[in-house]
């Protein structure tokens, strides 16, 4: 079995992936990255807003903050998140059993911190698999595993690189682009070679939360990742060609984007209702 390290934020969903990796690889350790912890406290949110202010300006920062405060927390907040998490856990346990893993782990604020790099180096992994991490993997870290660092991405690349891919796919009225990508990291964000890709199954872009859709897509990827691991081990893995496909990268949504998404979802539902009504109308020849 391939020697593996998992890197990601410690939460109920990523622990499912840790358990799955323990079943299909020689999981040597977990690096628990806290780069996304800014949202857990008022101080962290304020500091993050200041960083965004310097990077994208006042209007964009206010737009993103309003989305987080008035849409994500109110309509996609703890209750919706808990319901979605429960569905995901039920889906996972029905196929792979109850998730549990007790092995070596390291908590770090940065995946590139010397302690994190040394933790990975000591375990001599063949590959790193990562999800739910805000840090960019530096060259030193990327070059430790023999086969490279792979990212579980909650979207289809190169069309939907960056953040909140399920949100933007629905926003852009492209539900066919709801899915997953497993790529090998390089020196650019979400721009590495694609080794596995596919759709999210049994999701509803008109009503399911983007977070649930993204996580469901990752769970739907597990059979393909199992096959990828087999090919990596026997040396037959090859990247999927993405030549001539459009490339786009997205960032945090704003309040205006959230309103637009809500309107477009209503139009989707209205269109479905009209089609369903038309199907039940008697034909002229009846």
132: left (phi over 0), alpha (psi -120 to 50) or beta: left
Per-residue pLDDT for 267 more than 80? yes
C-alpha 55/C-alpha 64 separation (Å) is 13
What does the DSSP assignment read for 30-43? EEEE-TTGGGGSHH
The chain-wide mean pLDDT, for the chain, equals 90
Least confident of 21-35, 47-61, 144-158, 168-182: 47-61
Domain architecture of the chain: domains with CATH: 3-279 (3.40.50.170)
Percent of the chain with pLDDT over 70: 89
Per-residue pLDDT for 77 more than 60? no
* pLDDT at residue 51, rounded to an integer: 85
* pLDDT at residue 170, rounded to an integer: 95
pLDDT (average), residues 101-128: 96
Per-residue pLDDT for 286 more than 50? no
Neighbours of 114 (CB within 10 A): 10
For the chain, the first-to-last Cα distance in angstroms comes to 64
**Closest to 196 measured CA to CA, from 156, 167, 224:** 224
* pLDDT at residue 79, rounded to an integer: 53
pLDDT tier at 57, thresholds 50, 70, 90: very high
Kindly give, in sequence order, each residue whose CB lies less than 8 Å from that of residue 130, ignoring residues fewer than 6 positions away: 6, 7, 8, 137, 149, 150, 151, 152, 185
What's the gap between Cα 60 and its chain centre? 23
Least confident of 119-123, 124-128, 276-280: 276-280
């Amino acid at each position: 079995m391939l020697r593996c390290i998992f890197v990601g934020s410690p939460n109920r969903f990523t622990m499912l992936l840790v358990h799955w990796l323990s079943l299909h690889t020689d999981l040597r350790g977990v690096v628990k990255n806290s780069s996304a912890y800014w949202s857990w406290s008022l101080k962290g949110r304020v500091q993050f807003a200041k960083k965004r202010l310097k990077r994208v300006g006042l209007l964009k920062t206010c737009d993103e903050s309003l989305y987080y405060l008035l849409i994500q927390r109110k309509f996609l907040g703890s209750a919706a998140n808990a319901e979605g998490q429960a569905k995901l856990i039920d889906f996972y346990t029905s196929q792979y059993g109850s998730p549990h893993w007790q092995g070596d782990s390291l908590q770090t604020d940065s995946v590139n911190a010397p302690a994190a790099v040394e933790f990975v180096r000591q375990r001599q992994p063949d590959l790193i698999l990562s999800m739910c991490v805000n840090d960019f993997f530096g060259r030193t870290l990327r070059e430790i595993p023999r086969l490279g660092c792979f990212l579980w991405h909650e979207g289809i690349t190169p069309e939907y690189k960056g953040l909140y891919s399920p949100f933007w796919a629905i926003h852009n009225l492209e539900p066919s682009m709801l899915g997953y990508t497993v790529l090998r990291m390089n020196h650019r964000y979400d721009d590495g070679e694609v080794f596995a890709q596919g759709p999210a199954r049994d999701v509803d872009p008109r009503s399911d939360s983007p977070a649930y859709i993204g996580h469901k897509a990752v769970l739907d990827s597990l059979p393909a990742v199992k096959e990828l691991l087999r090919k990596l081990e026997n040396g037959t893995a090859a990247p999927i060609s993405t030549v001539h496909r459009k490339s786009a990268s997205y960032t945090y949504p704003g309040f205006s984007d959230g309103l637009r998404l809500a309107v477009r979802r209503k139009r989707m539902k209205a269109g479905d209702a009209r089609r369903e009504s038309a199907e039940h109308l008697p034909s002229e020849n009846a």
